[in-house]
Amino acid sequence: MSQPSSDLAAFREIFSKAKHVAILTGAGVSAESGVPTFRGAGGYWRKWQAQQLATPEAFSRNPSRVWEFYHYRREVMGTKEPNPAHLAIAECQERLGRTSTSSTDGGSKDVLEIHGSLFKTLCLSCGHESANHKSPICAALEGKGAPDPNTDEAQIPVDDLPRCEEAGCRGLLRPAVVWFGETLDSNLLERVEEELDSCDLCLVVGTSSIVYPAAMFAPQVAARGVPVAEFNMENTPATMRFKFHFHGPCGTTLPQALARHQSEAQKVEGEVEREVEREVEGEVEGEVVVGGRKVEGEVEGEVEKEVDGEVEGEVDGEVEGEVDGEVEGEVEGEVEGELEGEVEGDLK
């Protein structure tokens, strides 16, 4: 098995021809924004690692502790900003309109959140799932969740923990994330597989490639002969299966890799030029057409008015003549009759 390449020019050549880019992102991307991952050495919240808290069993035993952990993470996320890696992915997606990503933050669109979201909740009673960006998520958690190992546990009564707001429910809420030991949503998995089956370039960004089944996605794509590029601070168990590996902070390596390439720039310039030409032609044609229509309209209007006037005049004249004639005849007849009658009477 050959070593993956770090030839950026070779990657850019493939990227310039790709029709559908799939991007798989992990906690390492957000780590560069200062978001703790609770993985590896020193990855503790108080005295627990994430694997000891992010399980159904841990939540069942101590929902207050688990909610403190997730409340802390939600509050931290609210203070962070997307880093250059996030922005590069979002800008690439906006620019090309042919990318899909599993990223859970950073402004990307059409995200398939494989492992759920910190800002969604799931009701254990009615099953309702919804977005939730409240800060704090409930009054009892305000000021709680400090990661210092000497912090006393809040031991919040279960009735005061986040509750479902659906009518007549009030069930206990849990974070809508996939915990260790849980299966991924089958419908979501199907959509992810569809995206990966149709992609002709795959990027793996800031992920350890050790959490299954997500860890097998990129190797399966590579097995189909599709180029896969890994961007990470270190090698992973899957690195040797990929065509490219770019070592270093994703915020440094990814923007260079996803920058607008020359053929794309030429295409954009061509589209701009054509758009300008269409606008100019439209304006010229619009003036001629509008001018012609305006003149024709005025001429037609004047002709119509003249014809209408003539017709009205002829009709008016005929009517007036006929009426005047009839009236005059009647009057004359009556006068003549009366005079004749009077004369005749006088004579008689």
Question: Domain check: are 99 and 75 in the same one?
Answer: no
Task: Judge whether 61 is annotated as a binding position.
Answer: no
| Beta bridge partner(s), residue 231 | 205, 246
pLDDT at 347 over 50: no
pLDDT for the residue 44: 92
Q: Is residue 87 part of a domain?
A: yes
In CATH, what number is assigned to the domain containing residue 209? 3.40.50.1220
- Dist CA 171 CA 162 (whole Å): 9
Task: Judge whether 39 is annotated as a binding position.
Answer: yes
Question: Domain check: are 71 and 134 in the same one?
Answer: yes
Q: Is residue 137 part of a domain?
A: yes
Range of the domain at 344: 286-348
Residues 121, 175: contact at Cβ < 8 Å? yes
Task: Judge whether 240 is annotated as a binding position.
Answer: no
Q: Is residue 224 part of a domain?
A: yes
Task: Judge whether 27 is annotated as a binding position.
Answer: yes
* Average pLDDT score over residue span 105-133: 87
Domain stop point among 126, 144, 177: 177
pLDDT (tens digit, 9 = 90+) per residue, 145-198? 999 999 999 999 999 999 999 999 999 999 999 999 999 999 999 999 999 999
Q: Is 12 exposed, middle or buried (0-12, 13-18, 19+ CB in 10 A)?
A: middle
What phi and psi values does residue 23 have, to the nearest 5 degrees?
-125, 120
Task: Judge whether 44 is annotated as a binding position.
Answer: yes
pLDDT for the residue 111: 84
Question: Domain check: are 70 and 126 in the same one?
Answer: yes
- Dist CA 305 CA 293 (whole Å): 18
Q: Is residue 266 part of a domain?
A: no
Domain stop point among 133, 154, 177: 177
pLDDT for the residue 68: 98
pLDDT at 273 over 80: no
Question: Domain check: are 67 and 204 in the same one?
Answer: no
- Return the closest-CA partner of residue 236 out of 46, 34, 14, 28: 28
Domain stop point among 244, 259, 274: 259
Count of helix runs (H) and strand runs (E) in the chain: 10, 10
Question: Domain check: are 138 and 163 in the same one?
Answer: yes
pLDDT for the residue 109: 64
Of 168 and 331, the structure prediction assigns the larger pLDDT to: 168
Question: Domain check: are 152 and 72 in the same one?
Answer: yes
Using a pLDDT cut of 90, give the percent of the chain over it: 62
Confidence of residue 234 (pLDDT cuts 50, 70, 90): very high
Q: Is residue 200 part of a domain?
A: yes
In CATH, what number is assigned to the domain containing residue 130? 3.30.1600.10
247 is catalytic: no
Question: Domain check: are 191 and 295 in the same one?
Answer: no
pLDDT (tens digit, 9 = 90+) per residue, 26-60? 888 999 999 988 876 668 999 999 999 999 999 99
Of 227 and 114, the structure prediction assigns the larger pLDDT to: 227
Question: Domain check: are 101 and 203 in the same one?
Answer: yes
Tokens standing for residue 229: 């590029």
Length of the chain: 348
- Helix or strand or coil: residue 240? helix
Question: Domain check: are 231 and 326 in the same one?
Answer: no
pLDDT at 339 over 90: no
Name the helix (H) or strand (E) containing 48.
strand 48-49
Task: Calculate the average pLDDT of the chain.
Answer: 81
* Average pLDDT score over residue span 202-220: 91
* Average pLDDT score over residue span 257-272: 69
Task: Judge whether 169 is annotated as a binding position.
Answer: yes
pLDDT for the residue 279: 65
Instruction: Considering the candidates 20, 71, 86, 115, report the single residue annotated as catalytic.
Output: 115
Q: Is residue 24 part of a domain?
A: yes
The model's pTM: 0.73
pLDDT at 24 over 80: yes
Q: Is the bond preceding 175 in cis, omega lying within 30 degrees of 0?
A: no
Question: Domain check: are 11 and 53 in the same one?
Answer: no
Question: Domain check: are 4 and 92 in the same one?
Answer: yes
Task: Judge whether 135 is annotated as a binding position.
Answer: no
Name the helix (H) or strand (E) containing 336.
helix 262-347
Q: Is residue 248 part of a domain?
A: yes
| Beta bridge partner(s), residue 205 | 25, 231
Task: Judge whether 73 is annotated as a binding position.
Answer: yes
Q: Is residue 189 part of a domain?
A: yes
pLDDT at 332 over 90: no
Number of domains comprising the chain: 3
pLDDT at 246 over 90: yes
Question: Domain check: are 193 and 244 in the same one?
Answer: yes
Tokens standing for residue 113: 């959140």
pLDDT (tens digit, 9 = 90+) per residue, 290-305? 443 444 444 444 434 4
* Average pLDDT score over residue span 20-26: 92
Residues 111, 103: contact at Cβ < 8 Å? yes
Task: Judge whether 216 is annotated as a binding position.
Answer: no
* Average pLDDT score over residue span 100-121: 74
- Dist CA 156 CA 64 (whole Å): 5
- Dist CA 245 CA 276 (whole Å): 42
Confidence of residue 345 (pLDDT cuts 50, 70, 90): very low
